[in-house]
Structure 1
């Protein structure tokens, strides 16, 4: 592999087939995979995050999976450092870095020019309590302080509201001024997988049902013994939060599954909105499942054919 060969990122909503495409590209290009799904950072959160078992990784090295305990908070600044170290190490081995995951900010942090202001635990704790008490009111306050940021953050996205208000208080500058402007640190090819909405909704419902059948509830029970409820990030993950309520007797099985499906669909829409703002992404239709041929055609103008002639 040439040092000039671009990094590849694979983005898209949950359940669009990113994992399979990443594996196929890695096999054909001599690549290694870097995870950019923030929930797959957590050890033991396997079923509910659709984490690929080691036995199914085709011998391809995967990086930045199982790097956090469920009590720890995911931190994009720390991830940026570790992801760039992984990219450099993969390149030093003469292999291709392939980043895959649905956490848009983390993927951008790895490849784009982005700086992250620090954090203040006391300020963050205060703002978190304010947002928890009046999320809509705090969003209106953000709109007064930084209309551009408020336009990109929905009132339901408590975490980003908290972070935006924290950054404004810490820096005295608008949060929108910290947002990236799509400038990569080195050549990068951005692929995006899209699936027709109705088909995606069906895939999500099937996936949730399968995860429950494969022991998701038992996984959550085990994680609660390891402190899941104490983690501010992991405990709120879609599905994990609903199963905790199910185990506490607040939701029956059907309601917990349905709520998980609804929240996952909403999350998929947010992911799609985030990624579609990026003009660099080459979108591939994943509905037919022929990711390899579609990816090869999409990238032919930018690089040699990805897959060898048969």
Structure 2
């Protein structure tokens, strides 16, 4: 059977089993993991992102994990540059990069070599002023009127990406999607494996994961991160689970409601992930509940 000489991307919805498969593939091929989950870049955001502990990583190096403080901005452009450097360094020394995660725009930017549109401080400032004036929900509605496709892929609670999309639309005179990468041959000839499960099974796993997060210390983790500036973090403070817990600690709702809102938010995010990934016909889909999942993944990677 042919040897694997190209990166393997293991993507899919939250709680599908990507991390476990990524570990198995990296271990069997002598590869190293490159994280492509935006929020796992943050130091200290461990429980709420289901980040593998150092012990769980089995001695396999993991790149693009714990690279940002919670006060720092996570951007697709910065991630893409850093991850590209890691992947090309690994390939140069003959090591297989195993790219693992589910952040949609990060994945497409990396795999399709997205070249980012320029920014204009004056235009950006005008949209940020509009954000301050009407709030993120209303601004997102404005985006939906201008570019429904962009509004579908950007959360209505994400002010930074909503502003950026409106900026790009104004600067280019084209829909935001026109500035995004178009799917062609994946960069580095990466093989893309998608992990998913039956919807009912995945829902059960999301419930179990959310319960585990709150039972094993998410509230304490958020409390600790507040002391490190979490409230000032533009992207970190809006992560699913963290935003809801912060609001509970601020008295906006109860911790029971924080749990329910986190569960609902995760399920909505999973629906968006599935919709996004299913449009990409380059992905080889694998059933995360199949006992032969690892064998199937290796067979596809070696074609």
**TM-score normalised by structure 1 residue count:** 0.88
For residues 109 and 151 of structure 1, do their structure 2 counterparts lie closer, same or farther at Cα, with a shift above 3 Å needed? closer
Contact kept in structure 2, 1:114 and 1:179, CA below 8 Å: yes
Contact kept in structure 2, 1:3 and 1:91, CA below 8 Å: no
- Counterpart of 1:186 in 2: which secondary structure? helix
Contact kept in structure 2, 1:238 and 1:263, CA below 8 Å: yes
Aligned equivalents of 2:141 and 2:249: distance in 1? 35
| Residue pairs, 1:130-141, within 5 angstroms | 130-131=130-131, 133=134, 135=136, 137-139=138-140, 141=142
Aligned equivalents of 2:20 and 2:3: distance in 1? 25
Report the counterpart of residue 83 of structure 1 in structure 2: 83
Q: Which runs of 5+ in 2 are unaligned?
A: none
Report the counterpart of residue 18 of structure 2 in structure 1: 18
Q: State the Cα distance separating 1:140 from its structure 2 match.
A: 5.2
Report the counterpart of residue 44 of structure 2 in structure 1: 44
Larger mean Cα displacement after TM superposition, 230-239 or 110-119: 110-119
1:265-300 CA-partner distances (Å, limit 9, x unpaired) = 101111111111111000111134542133235x1x
Aligned equivalents of 1:152 and 1:237: distance in 2? 16
- Counterpart of 1:65 in 2: which secondary structure? coil
Aligned equivalents of 2:182 and 2:256: distance in 1? 43
Give the number of equivalent residue pairs.
Answer: 300
Q: State the Cα distance separating 1:131 from its structure 2 match.
A: 4.4
**TM-score normalised by structure 2 residue count:** 0.90
Report the counterpart of residue 205 of structure 1 in structure 2: 207
1:202-227 CA-partner distances (Å, limit 9, x unpaired) = 11111111111211111101100010
Contact kept in structure 1, 2:4 and 2:302, CA below 8 Å: no
Contact kept in structure 1, 2:153 and 2:272, CA below 8 Å: no
- Counterpart of 1:181 in 2: which secondary structure? coil
Aligned equivalents of 2:79 and 2:136: distance in 1? 27
For residues 125 and 218 of structure 1, do their structure 2 counterparts lie closer, same or farther at Cα, with a shift above 3 Å needed? farther
Report the counterpart of residue 164 of structure 2 in structure 1: 163
For residues 121 and 264 of structure 1, do their structure 2 counterparts lie closer, same or farther at Cα, with a shift above 3 Å needed? farther
Q: State the Cα distance separating 1:10 from its structure 2 match.
A: 0.7
Report the counterpart of residue 230 of structure 2 in structure 1: 228
For residues 15 and 129 of structure 1, do their structure 2 counterparts lie closer, same or farther at Cα, with a shift above 3 Å needed? farther
Contact kept in structure 2, 1:5 and 1:187, CA below 8 Å: no
| Residue pairs, 1:103-142, within 5 angstroms | 103-120=103-120, 123-128=123-128, 130-131=130-131, 133=134, 135=136, 137-139=138-140, 141-142=142-143
For residues 4 and 217 of structure 1, do their structure 2 counterparts lie closer, same or farther at Cα, with a shift above 3 Å needed? closer
Larger mean Cα displacement after TM superposition, 67-76 or 108-117: 108-117
Of residues 182, 193, 196, the one that matches 2:195 is 193
For residues 80 and 197 of structure 1, do their structure 2 counterparts lie closer, same or farther at Cα, with a shift above 3 Å needed? same
Q: State the Cα distance separating 1:160 from its structure 2 match.
A: 3.6
For residues 144 and 243 of structure 1, do their structure 2 counterparts lie closer, same or farther at Cα, with a shift above 3 Å needed? closer
TM-align CA RMSD: 2.4
For residues 131 and 3 of structure 1, do their structure 2 counterparts lie closer, same or farther at Cα, with a shift above 3 Å needed? farther
Aligned equivalents of 2:208 and 2:200: distance in 1? 12
Aligned equivalents of 2:277 and 2:68: distance in 1? 25
Larger mean Cα displacement after TM superposition, 166-175 or 107-116: 166-175
Q: Which runs of 5+ in 1 are unaligned?
A: 305-310
For residues 100 and 129 of structure 1, do their structure 2 counterparts lie closer, same or farther at Cα, with a shift above 3 Å needed? farther
Contact kept in structure 2, 1:9 and 1:191, CA below 8 Å: yes
